[in-house]
Amino acid sequence: MKHTLLTATALLALGAAQAQEQVTIGVSIPTATHGFMGGLNFWAAETEKRVEATYPNIDVVIVAAANADEQANDLQDLVAINQIDALVVLPFESDPLTQPVAQVKEQGVFITVVDRGLADPSIQDLYVSGNNVAFGQVAGQFFADTLSEGDNIVILRGIPTTIDTERFDAFMAAIEGSGINVLDDNYANWNRDDAYTTTQDFLTQFPDIDAIWAADDDMAEGVEAAVREAGREGDLFIVGGAGKKEIVQRIIDGDPLYPANVSYSPAQISTAIETTALNFVSSTPIVGEYLLESVLITPENAEQFYFPDSPF
């Protein structure tokens, strides 16, 4: 069962009666290893305050891990020390965290998985993520609408994961029949430095590039550094993704290098925490998959996606 969830805050405002039992929700996420995760940590902390203020009987405990092993240990502590009733987890890696989360589930804990799925999805009660198919489709449609037949593009992908494959396949389907030439695509690991190096190679190999799809704003900044270093910023445009505030500001300012972006907000952790809280304060069934739609960010709507207080 899949639902499109526009806002978890709206769900929390449905007028559900608060349960009297004390509830502890554990939240396990990666540390702020890059911009997106910095934003995710920020939104988790903001949501902790909001949920605890709204529901005095709910306590939210957030732990952040630097690697998969540390996250597995955090899960043990959340059960043994904090005696959690629910777990909201964004796995550092899918395979290594599948069994540790399954062990938490065996203790009768409600499981919400965020973004990076587990190897065994049957473990989860709830899955919350951005819509990766829409992410690729929206970007691809922008390219198809903006470029002309015969124009050339290159693509920087993330890492070899289901998420990346969904984005890439949807993008390619959206530009099919447009006459746009995809000169090459390569993995840059959602990393600024890797994107810089990958783009250097692309620019050396291809003298005529009209646009670059970076599929992530951290990568987009690495792409920009290489493009400016090569003096080719006037020849092409860049589309990243996830709505990093610096990129959104550039769109607001009308920077031709960044004509658009695609939303994939780290605030999805807020949706996950708030919807998990709803499970304990309402009789509304909270099960299945909730996908947050990705939309095109342009100068016309960019103000809606600009969050100056967020680190991302």
Question: What are 157-201's pLDDT values in tens digits?
Answer: 988 777 888 899 999 999 999 999 999 999 998 889 999 999 999
Do 2 and 288 form a contact (C-beta atoms < 8 A)? yes
Domains: count for the chain: 2
> Domain for residue 301, yes or no?
no
pLDDT at 120: 93
State the residue range of the domain holding 12.
2-131+266-293
Last residue of a domain, one of 245, 262, 279: 262
> Domain for residue 289, yes or no?
yes
Q: What pTM did the predictor assign?
A: 0.76
If you ran DSSP here, which 8-state letter would residue 115 be given? Answer: S
Q: Which residues of 11-29 are buried (b: 16+ CB within 10 A; e: fewer)?
A: bbeeebeeeeeebbbbbbb
Residue 160, H or E segment: none
Strands 211-213 and 152-157: parallel
pLDDT at 20: 60
pLDDT at 14: 44
172 plus 272 within the same structural domain? no
pLDDT at 5: 44
227 plus 276 within the same structural domain? no
- Tell me which residues of the chain have a pLDDT lower than 70: 1-20
124 plus 270 within the same structural domain? yes
39 plus 117 within the same structural domain? yes
pLDDT at 265: 84
Q: In what order do the strands lie in the sheet with 86-89?
A: 2-4, 288-292, 126-130, 110-114, 86-89, 23-30, 58-65
> Domain for residue 221, yes or no?
yes
Residue 281, H or E segment: helix 268-281
> Domain for residue 168, yes or no?
yes
